[in-house]
Amino acid sequence: MKKTHIIIAFAVIIAIIIGLTIGFGMRGFVTRGDVGVVEVEGVILTSKYTVRDLKMFADDPSIKAVILRVDSPGGVVAASQEIYDQVAKIAEHKKVVVSMASVAASGAYYISLPADIICANPGTITGSISVIMDYPVFEELLDKIGIDFEVIKSREHKDVGAPYRHLTDEERELMQGVIMDVYEHFVDATAHARNLPRDSVVKFADGRILTGRQAKDIGLIDTLASFEQAVDITGDLVGIDEPFLVYPPKRMSLVDFFVEPVERLLMPRLQFLWH
């Protein structure tokens, strides 16, 4: 019985050696490693899930690189900025590749800027470097149904953007100043990340959308590639022949599912958003 075990063990060792020899002779040793994939889908209303997932991969030593898979028209400015900051932090010590799907416009383009390589499909909708704020005004409707608002405030601009009244000319000017300040930041970030003259960025930073091919021609992205090709590009960056893709668990409460769309409808927010 003991002799049988020895023979079996010896046969297994020989088989392993032969397999390694054949594999090495055909293509060398195959390197494998983990690549984290963080998906950003839909309107960016919050940063908490994306930032959580990015941090998880940043802290995991088994993750050699991160792919940010983006399919979004953009979203809230502050949330986009928080995701941008986390992508930039990861890019300091791990390779980050962005793979743009159908849409990666406005704030979704902004969060892509710190990546080492930005990939898009030829028909991806991207660009839309701009800022917008919109919110509903129910003043006439409230008048018709006889509802009035009594407002007590400390200073005159405390209720700017309230849905029960229109802006005054002075308030509109104030809000335009806020919009332009955020817009200038967007332009500066694009020019810096893409190594482009600021004046050339301003020429197409008027809210226009671009295809992936157009974006590549003017330097907004690095290459045209599908998701599978982006995976190969990521592997090449870190010396992995066969990247093993790791996805974070998805968790969203029922409260988040129902409340966030309502918040978006009612609350005035600065948005990097392609409509």
Flag whether 90 is in a domain: yes
Q: Say what the pLDDT of residue 24 is.
A: 36
Whole-angstrom Cα distance, residue 57 to residue 64?
9
Number of domains in the chain: 1
Closest CA to 91 of 61, 112, 110, 62: 112
137 against 228, higher pLDDT: 228
Q: Say what the pLDDT of residue 143 is.
A: 84
3-state secondary structure (DSSP) of residue 150:
coil
**Does the pLDDT at position 273 exceed 90?**
no
Domain membership of residue 239 as a residue range:
33-273
Percentage of residues of the chain with pLDDT beyond 90: 66
- Helix (H) and strand (E) counts for the chain? 10, 11
Q: Say what the pLDDT of residue 95 is.
A: 98
**Does the pLDDT at position 245 exceed 60?**
yes
CATH code: domain of residue 73? 3.90.226.10
In this structure, the strands spanning 209-211 and 125-127 are: antiparallel
The set of residues, in sequence order, having a beta carbon less than 8 Å from that of 35 and lying 6+ positions away, is 63, 64, 65, 66, 67, 231, 234, 235, 238, 240, 243, 244, 245, 246
pLDDT, one tens digit per residue, over 167-212 is 899 989 999 999 999 999 999 999 999 999 999 999 999 999 999 9
Flag whether 23 is in a domain: no
Flag whether 5 is in a domain: no
149 against 3, higher pLDDT: 149
**Does the pLDDT at position 98 exceed 90?**
yes
Q: Say what the pLDDT of residue 271 is.
A: 65
Q: What is the DSSP string of 230-265?
A: HHHHHHHHHT-SEEEEE-PPP---HHHHHHHHHHHH
Confidence of residue 134 (pLDDT cuts 50, 70, 90): confident
Q: Mean pLDDT in the chain?
A: 85
Q: Say what the pLDDT of residue 30 is.
A: 43
Is 106 catalytic? The answer is yes
Asked if residues 116 and 88 have their Cβ atoms less than 8 Å apart, the reply is no
Give Cα 171 to chain centroid, integer Å.
32
Q: What's the token pair of residue 253?
A: 């409460």
CB count within 10 Å of CB 203 equals 10
Flag whether 175 is in a domain: yes
Q: Say what the pLDDT of residue 16 is.
A: 45
Flag whether 17 is in a domain: no
Q: Say what the pLDDT of residue 28 is.
A: 39
pLDDT, one tens digit per residue, over 115-131 is 999 999 999 999 999 99
Q: Say what the pLDDT of residue 20 is.
A: 39
pLDDT, one tens digit per residue, over 66-92 is 999 999 999 999 999 999 999 999 999
Q: Say what the pLDDT of residue 203 is.
A: 96
**Quick one: average pLDDT of 262-274?**
55
- DSSP secondary structure code for residue 191 in this structure: H
Q: Say what the pLDDT of residue 55 is.
A: 97
Count of positions (residues) in the chain: 275
Asked if residues 232 and 224 have their Cβ atoms less than 8 Å apart, the reply is no
Flag whether 26 is in a domain: no
Whole-angstrom Cα distance, residue 257 to residue 254?
5
Q: Say what the pLDDT of residue 163 is.
A: 86
Closest CA to 271 of 161, 163, 170: 161
CB count within 10 Å of CB 37 equals 22
pLDDT, one tens digit per residue, over 9-50 is 555 455 444 443 333 333 334 455 799 999 999 999 999 999
CA distances for 45 relative to 38, 105, 181, 266, angstroms = 16, 14, 20, 13
In this structure, the strands spanning 117-120 and 223-224 are: parallel
Secondary element (H or E) of residue 37: strand 32-41
Catalytic-labelled residue, pool 106, 112, 128, 130: 106
Catalytic-labelled residue, pool 62, 158, 200, 203: 158
**Does the pLDDT at position 1 exceed 70?**
no
Flag whether 12 is in a domain: no
Is 158 catalytic? The answer is yes
Flag whether 108 is in a domain: yes
Whole-angstrom Cα distance, residue 43 to residue 16?
51
pTM to 2 decimal places: 0.81
Q: What's the token pair of residue 159?
A: 């209720």
Residues forming beta bridges with residue 120, ordered by sequence position: 100, 224
